Structure 1
Amino acid sequence: MTVRIVGHGEQEVRRVTCGRCSGVLEYSKNDVQSEPRYDSSGNYDGERRWINCPQCTSQVEVAD
């Protein structure tokens, strides 16, 4: 295996698999997009967080 730089400082690299194309994606927190999520009553219910798959362009939900 070859050592490679994937970021500097506190950028933790994570992996997730795209549910649409099965691509294994590496991302850091700078790649994550988010928007508020509301329940059916209109109450705030946290944030939806995702990255865009570069292969099939679908939105892949990610954890914190």
Structure 2
Amino acid sequence: MTTWRFKNCPRCAGDMFIERDVDGLIERCLLCGYSRDVSKPKKVVSTVSESKRQPVGRF
């Protein structure tokens, strides 16, 4: 099954599709042929500790 991402190409703003390859997932543009590896997003780590957070605005 192919997943489409419409108007997502960084080079030409064309439609891209994701396909499985031997090396993993590849995202390719239908119009210009641009391709890039699709990796799992990394976990975002908060830079401010919970104890140092202060409320913003009125409550």
TM-score, normalised via structure 1 length: 0.35
TM-score, normalised via structure 2 length: 0.37
- Higher strand share goes to which structure? 1
Greater RCO structure (CA 8 Å; 6+ sep):
1
